[in-house]
Chain A
Amino acid sequence: MKKNAAPEQLDEKGLIAKLIDGDAAAFEFVVSQYHSTMLSVARAIIGEAFADEVVQEAWISAIKALPRFEGRASLKTWLLQITSNGAKTRLRRESRQFSLDDGWQAEPDSKFDQRGHRIDDVLPWNIDTPEALLENEQLRAVIETTYQKLPPHQRAVLTMYDMEGMEMTEICNILELSASNARVLLHRARTALHHSIEKYQEN
Chain B
Amino acid sequence: MFECKDIAEEASNYLDGDLPLGKRIGLFLHIVICSCCREYLQQIKQTISTVATIKPQEQHSTDTQALAEKLRAISKGEP
Give A contacts to B, CB under 8 Å.
Answer: 1, 4-5, 19-20, 22, 24, 27-28, 30-32, 35-37, 39-40, 43, 52, 55-56, 59-60, 63-64, 66, 105-107, 111-112, 115-118, 121-125, 127, 130, 133-134, 139-140, 143-144, 147-148, 155, 158, 162-163, 168, 183, 186-187, 190-191, 193-194, 197-198
A93 CA to B12 CA in the complex, in Å?
Answer: 32
Chain B residues close to A by CB (< 8 Å): 3-6, 8-9, 11-13, 15-18, 34-37, 39-40, 42-60, 62, 64-65, 67-69, 71-72, 74-76
Q: Assuming the A-B contacts A52-B62, A139-B50, are A121 and B36 also in contact, with contact meaning beta carbons closer than 8 angstroms in the complex?
A: yes
Q: Is the CB of B72 within 8 A of A125?
A: no
Closest to A109 in B: B5
Among B3, B47, B57, residue most surrounded by chain A Cβ atoms (within 10 Å): B47
Chain B residues, Cβ within 8 Å of A28: 64-65, 68
- The A interface is mostly helix, strand or loop, or mixed, namely helix
How many angstroms between the C-alpha atoms of A28 and B54 in the bound complex? 21
